[in-house]
Amino acid sequence: MSIRDEVVASALGLARDLDAGSIILISPEASAIRKELDTDIPIIIARILGGRGDGDDIFVDIMSKLPKNIGKSSLFLKVSRIELMSEAVEVAYIKGMIPNKVTVGIVSIGDINSIVVMDINDIPLIKKMAELASSMNYTVLKAVLNLAMDIGREGREGKKVGTAFVVGDTEKVLGMSHQIVLNPYEGHRKKDRDVKDENSWETVKEFAQLDGMFIVDEAGYIVAAGRYLDVNAKNVELPPGLGGRHLAAAAISKCTKAIAITVSESSGVVSVYKGGRDVFTIDPRVSIT
């Protein structure tokens, strides 16, 4: 029996012992591994966004930011196994494919075979993302969040950058804001304003150095940058020490159905606001992988 077969058999036994709610397969050979599993536990195959599936199996697309200009054959070797598993679990949970139970992941990439176990009840961030995705396109939300984390982690050419994105309820947000500089996105083609396309991120990072906020519509297209919010933050309660950008972001999320995402210039920490409250914060400079 090969190492992979041993790992698959062990993962299946572990899933049964833990009364797992699902098994997730992450591998270029996921279809072959699926045939080895004889179980009633729901099995989900994670694939790269845009991939194709065969038969009646359940698939979920991995939505995480992935390295550019590399083929799919080497893609799995460039991203940590924990990151891939976390992304697959998050997407599957948000789409209602897995319950609030343990999920066992089988990650088989080249000569590396591993088992990753996650308990949904121990990962509150996934439930918070599901709450946000109930009122917002998940692909758009995750793209903006990944972009914000990129800015928080890397800044721009070594310089720390603070900025904010207001996503959704665009007409109302525009009506409660005004330009403080000429809108650099005015008249540009949609493909050049698509926040879901990483090829546009360098331009966003450049404009992030401007005062004001980015306005992103429900489909993920940047409508404006350098926008000042005309909102009253008087009744918004946030932890002490947060500046005007955070207050304005929280306030616009309270006055509209938009979700606001801020990047702190001082710490790089990314905060997400909905309904006038801080839903969660992430420090992109801290990695568990």
- Cβ pair 186, 227 in contact under 8 A: no
**Is the Cα torsion angle 110, 113, 115, 116 positive or negative in sign?**
negative
- The share of the chain scoring above pLDDT 70, in percent, equals 88
pLDDT tens digits along 68-84: 555 555 555 555 777 78
The H or E element spanning position 119 is strand 112-119
| pLDDT confidence tier of residue 88, bands split at 50, 70 and 90 | confident
71-85, 168-182, 273-287 — most confident range: 168-182
Q: Residue 28, class by beta-carbon neighbours within 10 Å (0-12 exposed, 13-18 middle, 19+ buried)?
A: middle
Given a cut of 90, whether residue 224 has pLDDT beyond it is: yes
Q: What is the pLDDT of residue 225?
A: 95
At 18-60, the pLDDT tens digits run 999 999 998 888 888 988 899 999 999 987 655 555 555 677 7
Q: What is the pTM of this model?
A: 0.78
Q: What pLDDT, on a 0 to 100 scale, did the predictor assign at position 288?
A: 40
Q: Alpha-carbon distance 159 to 219, whole Å? A: 30
Res. 289 pLDDT band, cuts 50 70 90: very low
Pick 3-122's CATH classification: 3.30.470.20, 3.40.1010.10, 3.60.110.10, 3.40.1380.20: 3.40.1380.20
CA distance 209 to 153: 15
pLDDT of residue 46: 85
Give the tens place of pLDDT for each residue, 97-127.
888 899 999 998 878 889 999 999 888 888 8
d(CA 250, CA 277): 6
**pLDDT score for 249:** 93
pLDDT at residue 85, rounded to an integer: 85
CA-CA distance, 149 to 71, in Å (whole number)?
Answer: 24
Place of tokens 């999920």: 103
Q: What is the pLDDT of residue 251?
A: 93
52: DSSP letter:
-
Q: What is the mean pLDDT of residues 176-186?
A: 93
CA–CA separation, 121 vs 255, rounded Å? 31
What are the residue boundaries of the structural domains of the chain, listed by start?
A: 3-122, 129-282
Closest CA to 28 of 63, 71, 86, 66: 71
Q: Across the chain, what does the average pLDDT equal? A: 85
pLDDT for the residue numbered 76: 55
- Residue 266 pLDDT: 86
Q: How confident is the model at residue 6 (pLDDT cuts 50, 70, 90)?
A: very high
Considering the domain delimited by 129-282, tell me its CATH architecture. 3-Layer(aba) Sandwich (3.40)
Pick from 145, 152, 259, 143: nearest CA to 194: 143
Nearest to residue 100, comparing CAs of 138, 130, 142?
130
